[in-house]
């Protein structure tokens, strides 16, 4: 059915399922993890090859013929992201830690991160001995470019631009702020692998990028991560950090003349089974992105004419991954009513998800570390900094107001029609009973 403004206005309001009406769907719609949905013979063959060659370690085996899955993955991932180099690691958290090591972040340094993102962004800065400074998000769920600059001090070294819930951060405004203050930019692409900003793949605009390939990301082998950059020096440091100081043949050949000495690091290496699955997955990335964007487009188009509709801020609608469609319901009360009513229609809806409000986490509010002498909170600013809800009222307000529907790249046309029908049924009725959204 085509929705027009006229049909919207003329349609009598159907009783909401939550009020006893019939639901839009008979059974609940459930979004699934993207990458594993696309597993087929390609991933299977990769696993079989590693198994048959008995070569699960990426750097050597007894025949001295390692199966090269991880090395090939790195090359293909870097090419897809329009950067020169990449190193595969075992998680997104490891990727952030290695990227921060690549940037040389340490005690006395400060790193600006969004107040709403995954724990790892805060933890890895603390593990580096540096101070995480949380800045407010805006209606895009990403760093608010208007409010970042107030957090910059002479000790700020890095601006961590996290592209959250599939949505690119406003890089045209964030990059100049970083350049003006001589900050390095670390892009965390974990929640938006495959998305772009004004034609540029996410992760190719800052100095270095980190991505998670864990199960609820665009492509996955269950766990996995990637550090990528066009700066060979930063990448060499990250490579060495991920492999107890080593720079082995695949990276040495790729990076050319070594420029860095080994410093103590960890072991964040990826194994060949994981690399094989991810190699098959990266070859499907464009298909997955195209599918999820197609699903999102059908939903956006289907609700575009709803009067008063306020969507999440999208700095580049064409570049968004499309993993969820979010609406501003104006207040927490109305948002919660919207979510309950949508669920009763068997179309699951939720507030922004996949991240946490960092300043209210007990470890942040109480400035906990593994050791009392840990340098993070022992600097002057570290002693003075106050986390907690009072430090991020705008973030909390945005997260309370928005509600939406998570999408699945394999949703059928009928599924997306149901999502559209549920939003068209619920949104106007819930909104009619509430005060208008805040400006």
Ligand X SMILES: Cc1ncc(COP(=O)(O)O)c(C=O)c1O
How far CA 128 is from CA of 94, 99, 116, in Å, comes to: 12, 11, 20
Q: Is 156 helix (H, G, I), strand (E, B) or coil?
A: strand
Q: Encoding tokens for residue 22?
A: 């019939």
49 contact partners, CB below 8 Å, separation of at least 6: 67, 69, 276
C-beta of 395: minimal distance to ligand X in Å?
15
Instruction: Decide: is 97 part of the binding site for ligand X (CB under 6 A).
Output: no
When binding is defined by CB under 6 A, the residue of 50, 99, 126, 162 that contacts ligand X is 162
Rounded to 5 degrees, what are φ and ψ at 30? Answer: -130, 115
User: Maximum Cα–Cα distance for the chain, whole Å?
Assistant: 74
The DSSP bridge partners found for residue 267 are 243
Return the C-alpha torsion angle 50, 53, 54, 56, nearest 10: -40
Instruction: Decide: is 280 part of the binding site for ligand X (CB under 6 A).
Output: no
Does the annotation mark 217 as catalytic? yes
Instruction: Decide: is 93 part of the binding site for ligand X (CB under 6 A).
Output: yes
Rounded to 5 degrees, what are φ and ψ at 350? Answer: -155, 165
C-beta of 7: minimal distance to ligand X in Å?
40
Instruction: Decide: is 92 part of the binding site for ligand X (CB under 6 A).
Output: yes
Closest residue to ligand X, Cβ-based? 92
Instruction: Decide: is 120 part of the binding site for ligand X (CB under 6 A).
Output: yes
Q: Is 186 helix (H, G, I), strand (E, B) or coil?
A: strand
C-alpha 293: how far from its chain's center? 16
Residues 214-273 that bind ligand X (CB under 6 A): 214, 225
Window 186-205: contact mask with ligand X (x via CB under 6 A)? --x-xx--------------
C-beta of 283: minimal distance to ligand X in Å?
21
Residues 388-427 that bind ligand X (CB under 6 A): none
**Beta carbons within 10 angstroms of residue 5's beta carbon:** 11
Choosing from 52, 69, 84, 217, the catalytic residue is 217
d(CA 158, CA 183): 5
C-beta of 184: minimal distance to ligand X in Å?
17
Interface region with ligand X, contact rule CB under 6 A, candidates 32-40, 114-122, 294-302, 325-333:
114-122
C-beta of 215: minimal distance to ligand X in Å?
9
Tell me 358's DSSP state: G
Instruction: Decide: is 142 part of the binding site for ligand X (CB under 6 A).
Output: no
C-beta of 284: minimal distance to ligand X in Å?
19
C-beta of 338: minimal distance to ligand X in Å?
25
Window 334-363: contact mask with ligand X (x via CB under 6 A)? --------------------x---------
Interface region with ligand X, contact rule CB under 6 A, candidates 43-51, 183-191, 331-339, 408-416:
183-191
Interface region with ligand X, contact rule CB under 6 A, candidates 47-55, 89-97, 100-108, 144-152:
89-97
| 91 vs 334 by CB, closer to ligand X | 91
242 contact partners, CB below 8 Å, separation of at least 6: 87, 89, 94, 98, 227, 265, 266, 267, 268, 269
Instruction: Decide: is 132 part of the binding site for ligand X (CB under 6 A).
Output: no
d(CA 419, CA 303): 10
| 302 vs 322 by CB, closer to ligand X | 322
Degrees (nearest 5) of the Cα angle 335, 336, 340?
120
Active site residues: 217
Residues that bind ligand X (CB under 6 A): 91-93, 96, 117-118, 120-121, 162, 188, 190-191, 212, 214, 225, 354
């Amino acid at each position: 059915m085509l929705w027009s403004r006229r049909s919207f206005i003329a349609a009598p309001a159907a009783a909401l399922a939550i009020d006893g009406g019939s639901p839009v769907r008979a059974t609940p719609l459930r979004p699934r993890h993207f990458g594993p949905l696309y597993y087929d013979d390609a991933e299977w063959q990769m696993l079989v090859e590693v198994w048959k060659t008995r070569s699960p370690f990426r750097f050597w085996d007894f025949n001295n013929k390692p199966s090269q899955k991880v090395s090939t993955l790195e090359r293909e991932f870097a090419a897809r992201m329009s950067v020169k180099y990449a190193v595969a690691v075992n998680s997104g958290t490891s990727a952030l830690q290695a990227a921060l090591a690549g940037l040389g972040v340490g005690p006395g340094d400060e790193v600006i991160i969004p107040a709403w993102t995954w724990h790892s962004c805060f933890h890895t800065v603390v593990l580096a001995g540096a101070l995480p400074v949380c800045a407010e998000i805006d209606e895009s769920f990403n760093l608010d470019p208007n409010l970042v600059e107030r957090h910059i001090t002479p000790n700020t070294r890095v601006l961590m631009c996290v592209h959250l819930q599939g949505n690119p951060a406003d890089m045209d405004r964030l990059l100049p702020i970083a350049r003006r203050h001589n900050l390095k930019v670390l892009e965390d692409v974990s929640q938006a692998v495959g998305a772009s900003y004004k034609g540029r793949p996410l992760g190719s605009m800052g100095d270095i990028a980190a991505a998670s390939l864990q199960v609820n990301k665009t492509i996955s082998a269950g766990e996995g991560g990637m550090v990528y950059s066009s700066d060979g020096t930063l990448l060499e440091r990250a490579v060495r950090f991920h492999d107890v100081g080593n720079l082995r043949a695949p990276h040495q050949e790729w990076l050319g003349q070594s420029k860095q000495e080994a410093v103590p690091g960890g072991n964040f290496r990826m194994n060949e089974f994981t690399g094989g699955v991810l190699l098959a997955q990266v070859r499907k990335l464009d298909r997955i992105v195209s599918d999820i964007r197609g699903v999102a487009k059908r939903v956006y188009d289907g609700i575009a004419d709803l009067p008063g509709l306020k969507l999440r801020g999208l700095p580049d609608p064409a570049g968004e991954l499309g993993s969820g469609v979010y609406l501003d319901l104006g207040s927490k009360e109305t948002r919660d009513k919207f979510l309950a009513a949508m669920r009763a229609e068997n179309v699951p809806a939720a507030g922004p998800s996949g991240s946490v409000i960092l300043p209210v986490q007990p470890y942040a509010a109480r400035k906990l570390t593994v050791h009392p002498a840990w340098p993070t909170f022992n600097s002057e600013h570290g002693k003075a900094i106050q986390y907690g809800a009072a430090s991020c009222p705008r973030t909390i307000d945005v997260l309370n107001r928005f509600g939406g529907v998570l999408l699945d790249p394999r949703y059928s046309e009928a599924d997306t029609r149901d999502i559209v029908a549920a939003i068209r049924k619920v949104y106007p009725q819930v909104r009619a009973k509430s005060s208008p959204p805040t400006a």
